[in-house]
Structure 1
Amino acid sequence: MVVGLTGGIGSGKTTVAKMFASYRNVVVYYADIEAKKLMTSSETIKRNLIDQFGKETYLNKELNRPYLANIVFKDPSKLKILNGIVHPEVYKHLNNFIAKNKDKSYILYENAILFENKSDTFCDKIITVTAPLKTRIDRVINRDGTTKNAVKNRITNQWNDNLKTLQSHYVIHNVNLEDTEQQVFKIHNILTNTLY
């Protein structure tokens, strides 16, 4: 079983994913981390990104993240092109990961843009992590040392929480860590048919 885990930037979905990962019978696929690795290691992705965004996309064989982010987060059409290049390679990688982990109770597929890039179609169940907007903005500013406007630009490129929660099987409100752990515990028990 593949369980999608999503949530807007700063919602704390990675923190929630780590809570699920603490269970022995669960394995987590972090789409963003794997995509970043593939953007450096996949020759197909590199070639296509350079074709679309220019030689400046890579500096010393490393992805020039600030350069690329500056282009795609200001222009939704450019973001769509980027996703169209990266996501097919991530899906191949994910399918291999699923095949290797068939013995687990479920695979948690953590993806910030699960609905936006139609990755929800891979999932048997979906969990959305939410948090108040101010909390999310503060978390990202503290984590990335970025500006409020930069965070807001990224938020506008993602679906809003209402759209996500309407299409989710479970919703975790991530404000207080202790409460969040309880919510994770309950959902894990439901997914593994364990009584608590």
Structure 2
Amino acid sequence: MVPCRTLLLYLRSAMWTLLFYCACFQLTEVLTEDVQSCEHLRLGQYLCNGPKIDEATQEPESCRDTRAWVECLPAPNISCRLSNGTEFRFSGKEVGFNKTISCRNVSGYSYKVAVALSLFLGWIGADRFHLGYPALGLLKFCTVGFCGIGTLIDFILITMQIVGPEDKLHCGLLRRPSDPPVHHQPDVQEASPFAVTGSPIVLELILG
């Protein structure tokens, strides 16, 4: 009789212990869910550093596939979960997460050079060779720019920037030192770098 009563006491103690651990586990999960991920912070709760700009292209050095990464710092006394799930309270100096910004993939092509080649050497296909269309360039060379008609059409297309580099990258429009600096902000759509007015450049090339 005594062993049965002792066994019941052991079972009851084990059951209460199991219930206690289950309650603690559920409470921990609830408290963890209340702390959101750092990537889901609202505007005003974090500040993103500006990207490192390449002086030649005026674009972020880390630009890949029209996207670049910048470091974001949560505001002081903000608590959030890092990418590894760790909860952290920030002082305003620590990097909490990375955010993407839009940028331009700049190739080695030049809009001015393309317009100049189309204007002066378009009849031998130099513009098409420069933009990466060797087959069309050779065809223009053999037909003397399609008797001038193809030269005129290509000049208009390149000037209006309808035709660009074959690799689909944007032409490298280098800024002058006097131009204002470029400021990249997260989640801001920017215009295509190849979409600039061609008329002033054409006049500049003609007038020297």
RCO comparison, higher one (Cα < 8 Å, 6+)? 1
The structure carrying a bigger helix percent of its residues is 1
Structure-1-length-normalised TM-score: 0.22
Bigger-Rg structure (1/2): 2
